[in-house]
Structure 1
Amino acid sequence: MISDFTMGFLLADAVIAVLIVIILFLKKALKAHISKRIQYNIWFLLLLALAVPFLPVRQEGFLHAVNLAGVLKEALPAKGNAEVGAGKDISGAAGTGWMQDFSVSVKGERIPFFSMVLFVLWLGGMAVTAGVTLSSGRKMRQLARSALPVQDQEINALFEECKKELGLGRKVKIYSSAYVRSPVAFGLFRPSILLPIRVIREFERKDIRYILLHELMHYRYWDIPVNYWVCLTRILYWFHPFVWYALKEMRTDREIACDAAVLAVLRQEDYTDYGNTLIQFAEKLSVASFSAASAMGGTKKQLKKRIISIAGFRPEGGWLKLKSGLVLLAAVLIVLLFLPGLMANAKGGEAPIPVAYETREDLGTYFGDYKGSFVLYDRKRQAYTIYNEKGSAKRVSPDSTYKIYSALFALENKVITPDSSHLDWDKTQYSFAAWNRDQDLDSAMENSVNWYFKTLDAKSGLASLEKDFHKIGYGNEDLSGGISNYWMESSLKISPLEQVRLLNSFCQNDFHFDEKNVEAVKKSLWLSGSGTNALYGKTGTGAVDGKNVNGWFIGFIETGDNTYTFALNINKEDSCKGSTAAKIALTILTSMGIDVPR
């Protein structure tokens, strides 16, 4: 998990750097066509994008088509858990041949040293940055405690007038302090404005009005809560120079937008006076370092930009507002296009539960010591029956059950055909005698021959497989574990519920594949038949470090007038076999009154 997160986060960081460059270019190129407020608001899109790598969401819709992270991941070495062991013959189960278990053990995931070092460094950097941020906040609280309410009644009356002018009904208090050199707005739950004593003593009434209007604008536009959000972002991305630069630019744009908002309520003849008031703080170069506070002062470079903006201020017209809206829309679309690259860690651990279903907790008696889940779909009744809701929605490795779709995709991609599916054995010796010979689709499916399906996948190609898995919406659609191992206790995950939905769609060919190809795969899945009834299915066993930890049996039963689609999954520290899952499933199906051909 740590290795996945570290790699995904690094890839997301690269995407973030590109996104920031594009946003900066967009703002600079279209500066004359964007209002000051929209120039600032565009940065909120970046803040949202920076949160995406930490959200438990999955990639959906058209965004998947531009999945930059998926391409980059495949170019990197495969993860440790994709290394194949010598294999373990776990046949010997009683019953017909299809209940034989053919599983190859993989090595349990080991966190690479490089990933662990990066992860620890990231945590350490966050701790240091968080400490500095908390220290700044503590200093701000100490200043607030030492500040005194403004006693000058004229200033208090002016403050109330400014609040009324801006339509602020919230209770904002005003204090004075000898320890600050620039006006500061602070306080998330107890909003306050802190004025330097020298401002009250030395500044004229009109200058104080400008100051109060500016600081109150921060509350009007909820800048203080946003500052907390910015602080968290700075902690998470303490190592990212592009993010730090973007946040600095965002602060400057915030003050410029605040200046523009103040100028919009002033008379045109007051613009110069407002700029001169700002210059007085430039002389002191006083800027609050308090992480969640907003100060009127700033660096020379920031104040220079603000003065230039004030000098060129013009009231916003309808045409500027329209252009600003269009630019903001363009920025939204750009960020949406980059979302897949930011979702490198968003796999989606659970599938949605259907709206209507019947729970059968009494079926738990059939599982014995195994943890597991069972899902059945009755096509005639269009009804689901579920045992273990949580387990039925949990995504786990599909293991050999994926071979149903590997075969279907190979047929669709013309790697094999229904009439010509033969592949020559390359003489590599395997632990299972049934694998050590030439294969066709029927024999390979019956004996779950790994090398056959790996060859099909290799000939189809990763790009084609990703497109195909996305087309049918297969689980988390994650093939980053490598083209030879993604299905084997690696990156690809699917829930029992999704298995049933997909298999039902496969049977009805809802995805509009070639009917001959669908029939060829169905033929390879045939297990037994009696009269008008036929049983089709595929087992799967997941083995890690020589222990069988995951067992599957999925399939469908066709009767004269109905089709029942099912999936059963069991998991345990050891002894989970596809053959065991098959026995449990067939017992459950029989207990439900379904005629299971033997």
Structure 2
Amino acid sequence: MEKFLFHLFEISLTMSIIILLFAAFNVFFAKKYAAKWRYIIWIILLVALLIPFRPDFDFSLTNTLHPLEETNAEERNLTLTENISNETSEQVALPVNKTPKETGFMNTTTLLLFIWLGGVALFLVYMLWMHIRFLRMVKRWRYKIKDQTILAILQEEKERMGAGHKKIALYGCKLEISPMLIYQSKPTILLPHKEISQEELSYIFRHELIHYRRKDIWIRYLMLFINAIYWFNPVIYFMAKSLQNECEESCDEKIVRGLDTLSRKEYGETIIGIIGREKITKTRLSTNFYGGKKTMKKRLSTIMDTSKKKVGIALVASVLTVSAIAISGSIWINGNDSRAEAAADLTSAQAKKIALKEAGGGKVVKYQLDTEKR
């Protein structure tokens, strides 16, 4: 239990540093490499938060002392029982780790575990309640779109995306929403209750179908789960917002790839025109055509950017991110484990040497470490 909490907080700290470093990197280089790469790196960071163990490169910032020095510095208790040639047996007392004394009804570790579990439960219950509430509102105010022209545009875009055989429901909704892809009983595209031109519909359907093909909704579910695990860490909330923005931006980037300046402008105007108000009804478990003024400004900049992106910078960012994740375990987590193991091995060797000296020679055939609780 104690080890689990230790690893949880260590991963949270280490990954927070890596996330902030990547965000700082993007401040200077985001415009130089494609949004799809930034989105991929955010997904790598997301998956890394789920992996409790890292490769151990025998390097740790916390392992600054030699195991012998650490062993001598700590209070330990050991009973070594040995059989030395011809029924000779000696016992020598040497130090080992002692078990921390537990006081009161609940120790600190147990209390922290209950606080963490309580936070996870409250976060998930609240988010699921908000999502269910949203679905109920949608169910009340939605209406099935039967216009054959609109349905034909959707089918055409499905064919374009290689999803012509997929069953995707299409509804309008009288709530103040932006176009979105959401899962109810099946994948569903929701459109706001307003006049939308055929050209705008093409862009909207293409946008949402890209989300569908890339399984972006499932990334949202995974991000929500990670957010619940690390509910105490504000950096993870920042990551969730950044991941969502990069998801939408990479989708825009894919749509406008190969389009001329005029077509890019038309797509940007579609995004602006489809949003009636800033305050819209939404849920975290859906795609979101609108993400706030600052986000929209950044997306429009990406849409109109026709400059050639540098693959080299994307690869550098990817390699640096994966390398940082890989060595993070050696810096914090595995360093402590290897240090403890090394200390234990050294103590056993010392114990055997001292036992032989006390017994006046012989051979150690058996020894036992006996931990005493204090």
**Under TM normalisation by the shorter chain, which class is it?**
0.7 to 0.9
**For residue 21 of structure 2, what is the aligned residue in structure 1?**
22
User: Which of the numbers 291, 301, 306 marks the counterpart of 1:308?
Assistant: 301
Q: Does 1:253 align with 2:246?
A: yes
How many residue pairs match? The answer is 363
**For residue 217 of structure 1, what is the aligned residue in structure 2?**
210
Q: Distance in 1 between matches of 2:79 and 2:252?
A: 72
Q: Does 1:332 align with 2:290?
A: no
Against the structure 1 CA distance between its residues 120 and 47, is the aligned structure 2 distance closer, same or farther, given a 3 Å change threshold? same
Shift of 1:294: 0.9
User: Which of the numbers 350, 355, 360 marks the counterpart of 1:445?
Assistant: 355
Q: Does 1:171 align with 2:167?
A: yes
Q: Distance in 1 between matches of 2:244 and 2:54?
A: 32
User: Which of the numbers 180, 188, 191 marks the counterpart of 1:192?
Assistant: 188
**For residue 296 of structure 1, what is the aligned residue in structure 2?**
289
The answer on whether the counterparts of 2:181 and 2:286 sit within 8 Å (CA) in structure 1 is yes
Amino acid at match of 1:159: L
Secondary structure in structure 2 of the residue aligned to 1:14: helix
Secondary structure in structure 2 of the residue aligned to 1:539: coil
Shift of 1:162: 0.8
**For residue 230 of structure 2, what is the aligned residue in structure 1?**
237
The answer on whether the counterparts of 2:82 and 2:367 sit within 8 Å (CA) in structure 1 is no
TM-score normalised to the size of structure 1? 0.53
Q: Distance in 2 between matches of 1:288 and 1:8?
A: 38
Deviation track 1:554-575 (CA, whole Å, cap 9, x = no partner) reads xxxxxxxxxxxxxxxxxxxxxx
Amino acid at match of 2:126: V
**For residue 539 of structure 1, what is the aligned residue in structure 2?**
367
The runs of 5 or more residues in structure 1 that have no matched partner are 349-395, 408-440, 450-522, 528-535, 547-598
Q: Which has the larger radius of gyration?
A: 1
Shift of 1:116: 4.0
Against the structure 1 CA distance between its residues 401 and 40, is the aligned structure 2 distance closer, same or farther, given a 3 Å change threshold? closer
Shift of 1:34: 1.0
Q: Which has the higher contact order (CA 8 A, sep 6+)?
A: 2
Secondary structure in structure 2 of the residue aligned to 1:192: strand
Against the structure 1 CA distance between its residues 258 and 71, is the aligned structure 2 distance closer, same or farther, given a 3 Å change threshold? farther
Deviation track 1:85-122 (CA, whole Å, cap 9, x = no partner) reads 7x879899997234647577865444685444433332
Against the structure 1 CA distance between its residues 300 and 406, is the aligned structure 2 distance closer, same or farther, given a 3 Å change threshold? farther
Q: Distance in 2 between matches of 1:326 and 1:210?
A: 33
Shift of 1:256: 0.9
**For residue 160 of structure 1, what is the aligned residue in structure 2?**
155
Secondary structure in structure 2 of the residue aligned to 1:302: helix
Deviation track 1:184-225 (CA, whole Å, cap 9, x = no partner) reads 112288222111222xxx111111111111111111222111
Q: Distance in 1 between matches of 2:18 and 2:238?
A: 13
**For residue 262 of structure 2, what is the aligned residue in structure 1?**
269
**For residue 362 of structure 1, what is the aligned residue in structure 2?**
none
Against the structure 1 CA distance between its residues 71 and 188, is the aligned structure 2 distance closer, same or farther, given a 3 Å change threshold? farther
The runs of 5 or more residues in structure 2 that have no matched partner are none
Q: Does 1:183 align with 2:179?
A: yes
TM-score normalised to the size of structure 2? 0.81
The answer on whether the counterparts of 1:45 and 1:335 sit within 8 Å (CA) in structure 2 is no
The answer on whether the counterparts of 2:82 and 2:365 sit within 8 Å (CA) in structure 1 is no
Q: Distance in 2 between matches of 1:310 and 1:183?
A: 18
Secondary structure in structure 2 of the residue aligned to 1:543: coil
More helix by share: 2
The answer on whether the counterparts of 1:178 and 1:196 sit within 8 Å (CA) in structure 2 is yes
Q: Distance in 2 between matches of 1:406 and 1:336?
A: 34
